Structure 1
Amino acid sequence: MGNFDEVINRWNTKSVKWDLVETLFQSKDVIPMWVADMDFKAPQEVNEAIIKRAEHGVYGYTLADHAFKESIINWNKERHNWSIQPKWLTFSSGVVASLHMAIQAFSEPNDGILIQTPVYPPFYNSINALDRTIIKNPLIFQDNYYTIDFADFEEKLKQVKVFILCSPHNPVGRVWRKDELEEMARLCIKHNVLIISDEIHGDLVYPGKKHIPIASLSEEIANQTITCMAPSKTFNVAGLAASYCITSNEEYKRLLDKAFNKQGFHSDQLNTMGQVAMEAAYTYGAPWVDELNTLLESHYHFVKESFEKHAPELNVVKSEGTYLLWIDCSGLKLNAKELREFFVKEAKVGLNAGKDYGEEGEQFMRMNVGCPRETLEEAVERIIEAVKRNRI
């Protein structure tokens, strides 16, 4: 199982999170808690599988064989009660790349693409980069919790060809309930809107919560959906660049593969080490993930309770999953620019600016708590002390 207490020095490992600290925050004294990777070693079985493969010493083109595909199928069946077939799989270097390909395959320039804001910045970036039109269905923030405005959702569906679902939702931490997913799917089918479901955080849900792949709800919904998944967030293997799309719709599968092939990507091949890591993680990693999710929930409660007691100006939004906390900072009475500078210069903690997730996030910051408790406690203490100084 994981050693989640071990503090690992990631400096000088070409780590985006750590080795860009000085560039991004103008100081090496800042604790980075921004980009979505964790400071934990991958499961031992994953590391051992990579070492064994490296000892072979030959890294030729790698086949996505039966055993590899079975590991994906078994994981989704056992973890999410979703029965998928090998022929439904398309492989990709990452979920963001898959979003780009799917948008190209199923829409035209100027077409509307629906997103639920505030949301993961690459949703905006991919839509803009491909000259499509962003249509927003802002989530409702009430009683420290986010819900869906279904009346607005249906109205906006009339303007789009594609809806990109974030499930679980990054950054607000919602794990959508079955009834919410069913209603979104019902309306998408009614208005003939394709669902592209980003479920990269689907394994990271707190104990007692359940991630439901939207395509698992019914054959009809599956036929309207392309699901994007990866082990990258779950097992902290993002640098190994391996993900996959799932669709039971044969025409969608054909068009998606065609989009990949037009860009020179072979949808049946992956990075060798990424494939090795995925198979090992999905075969042996379940106990590790269970332990991780328990830890992440405890981290969420620690941050929330610490701020409630010592820095009530900061309000941690109720979360149900992921290792990303969405913090309402409106109590500090700072604008978006001042807010970022406060955390970097006063607290010496590098968070994600909420405004990057849409205008709805201007009074928020996103905090990555995928780190040892020692690191988290130091960061929280720095923030609390900075808040106290700000009161004077």
Structure 2
Amino acid sequence: MERRFTSRIVCLDWIENSESEKSKISSSIQEKYEHLRLQYEADLRKNWVEQLESPNQVLEQLSLAACLIELWKSMCKTESENESQPIVPNFVDIACGNGILVYVLRMEGYEGSGYDASRRKSWSTFPPWIQSCLHEKVIIPKPFLDMLGPLEIDIGIESGLFPENTFIISDHADELTVWTPILAALANPCSPLPFMVVPCCSRSLAGSYFRYPPGGAGQGYGDSNPGLHGHSCNGISQPCSGDLRALRAAKMNEKTENGFLSSMAGSLAVKTASIAEEIDFGVEKAWLRTPGAVNMALIGGRDENSNRLKSGEPVTDEELTAARLKIMEVVERECLQDGGIQAAAQLWIDRLETLRHANQTQHQPY
């Protein structure tokens, strides 16, 4: 039986903001969510073709679309009082999956595209002009591409260095989660790209299964088989004894704020934020409440002063070089647990080939 989602209000509550600002933001997101449901939910459910995902993913993606639209409104100003559409950066969804988020945002008038390692059945249900914005490509981070040299691979490759004024959406992007603030900074160390991260499965920079310790500091423990430690990719610490009652309790607890913070996804969120802050990229944390879950969203670039180099003063070549070196020092350090950056790059490619083979089997088109 399909799980019935709760009637939880959809909102994005900035953890460090005042209650009045939280209330204002939550109210506008809820209104936008209701509008999007009326506009798109029925048709999306009617045309649902994915076999490995529940149709309730429609509500989750509509929730995220509402949050992003209102977030962009809070970040950007209109050119004139008569203009109804705010000036927003182009977006890129680096793990677009079924493509619903890209579809809704494009239908609402926002420019952008989505990438995924495998074309999904859902893509063919969208208008041709939407399908042209969904790309079957893989992202191999630029530092890895530099180490690997020319690659013979049967799919398009993106380096993750997106153009200026691109907003990066990293929703359940797994191995790209911790990479997101790094890619945003590498694209332009003087003015990093804005982003939103919604964490899920925990991975190291090499893409290996890896659980970061609570608090995001130091080394966690990684393993090619997450089941060895009783973990799952959904962020819930699972008991190894087979106690179903304890597992159900853990799943319910994970839907609370305190439960999330002690989960695998919570530790991943804290680690990602700490990486961003280490490379001088300020990040805001917000509780993302959707019909199906409570998660933490990490938002970079909403504040124009979120990076220390974005002060309006000219940036010297020395400052630019120092910023890039700091970013690469973080990358090299984080790759040590997988044998160094060269080994991590090769692990990324090996895992990519395995993932591609699995996805081609699971997401066969009609």
| Bin for the TM-score computed over the shorter chain | 0.3 to 0.5
Q: TM-score, structure 2 length as denominator? A: 0.35
